[in-house]
Amino acid sequence: MKIFISADMEGISGVATNQQLKTNSEYQRFRKLMTQDVNAAIEGAFLGGATEVVVADGHGNMSNILIEELDPRARLISGSNRVMCQLEGLDDSFDGIMFVGHHGRENGSERTVISHSLAGICVNEIKINGRVVGETEMNAFVAGYYNVPAIFISGDDAYVNEVRKTLPHVEAAVVKRGIDRFAAELLHPIKAHELIKEKAKKAVQKAKQCPPLKIGGPVTFEIEFKGPNQATMTTTLPTVTLIGPRTITFTCDDIVTAYKHMWGCVIIAMTATNGVLGHVNAS
């Protein structure tokens, strides 16, 4: 029983504001809490019957988890240059995927804590075949390509409600109640870790009964960016069409190819936010 964990930071226990993830002293605290949430999921997975666990750090520069404090039974994928972003390392050898510390999408619930879609600096909305998706649903579609079911999520209550519209069968650990985008009612981390462990164990135990989330090809992405500069620069890829001042579209044969294409567009858009090569010659 091989389990893949995609770990983000906005939805971990204790997080309520963006500054907690950006101010260095606070960020160092929450790196530890992120590692502890992931450890709780790893422990639960092994209690549920997992024999192998791989964790992909998926927040920011994707190197937040403290390897020296990670459960030694798991392996960690860390670092930012990844073709498959939050899913680097996932393939058809896995029996289930867990999303630890994830969050709601941009323009979703007004209560979802630190909501955004993959890159808050540039992405306003992502649609797949006309359907608005958040990160978890998009990643679950990719996992489905490999016949890997999404079995567990943790985060705030509004995020859980959002995801369950697409993935009603997932086990969910609600570690906070969203009040506002930058406010939450928090469980104590000890209680949150107990809940994550319990739900992760249950998720692995019933993993073989969970259906993968499938989407057939061709797959069309529509991405609305926050600025026209971001959208326009993605059209340096000849497969991308500008359909509005801030909106692009492209079509690929399958969801994995489309996901890579999406990630390439987002990388370009992030770079274009303040002008491509804008930092060159700056002192």
209-249 pLDDT tens trace:
999 999 999 999 999 999 999 999 999 999 999 999 999 99
Nearest Cα neighbor of 119 from 197, 22, 26, 223 is 223
pLDDT band, very low/low/confident/very high, at 282 (cuts 50, 70, 90): low
Q: Is residue 61 a contact partner of residue 9, using CB atoms and an 8 Å limit?
A: no
Phi then psi for residue 119, to 5 deg, are: -140, 95
What is the reported pTM?
Answer: 0.96
pLDDT in tens, 36-61: 999 999 999 999 999 999 999 999 99
User: Distance between CA 268 and CA 277 in Å, rounded?
Assistant: 11
As beta bridge partners, residue 55 has 5, 76
For residue 279, the model assigns a pLDDT of 72
* 116 given a catalytic annotation: yes
Catalytic residue among 102, 116, 193, 261: 116
Neighbours of 161 (CB within 10 A): 17
User: Distance between CA 33 and CA 208 in Å, rounded?
Assistant: 30
Q: Where are the alpha helices (DSSP H) in the chain?
A: 19-22, 24-47, 135-145, 157-164, 189-205, 228-234, 255-272
- Burial of 264 per CB tally in 10 Å (0-12, 13-18, 19+): middle
For residue 283, the model assigns a pLDDT of 56
For residue 7, the model assigns a pLDDT of 98
Q: Is residue 112 a contact partner of residue 156, using CB atoms and an 8 Å limit?
A: yes
pLDDT in tens, 113-130: 999 999 999 999 999 999
Find the angle CA(13)-CA(10)-CA(257) to the nearest 5 degrees: 130
Q: Distance between the two ends of the chain, CA-based, in angstroms?
A: 53
Q: Which residue has the tokens 């995609």?
A: 6
Nearest Cα neighbor of 60 from 24, 13, 109 is 24
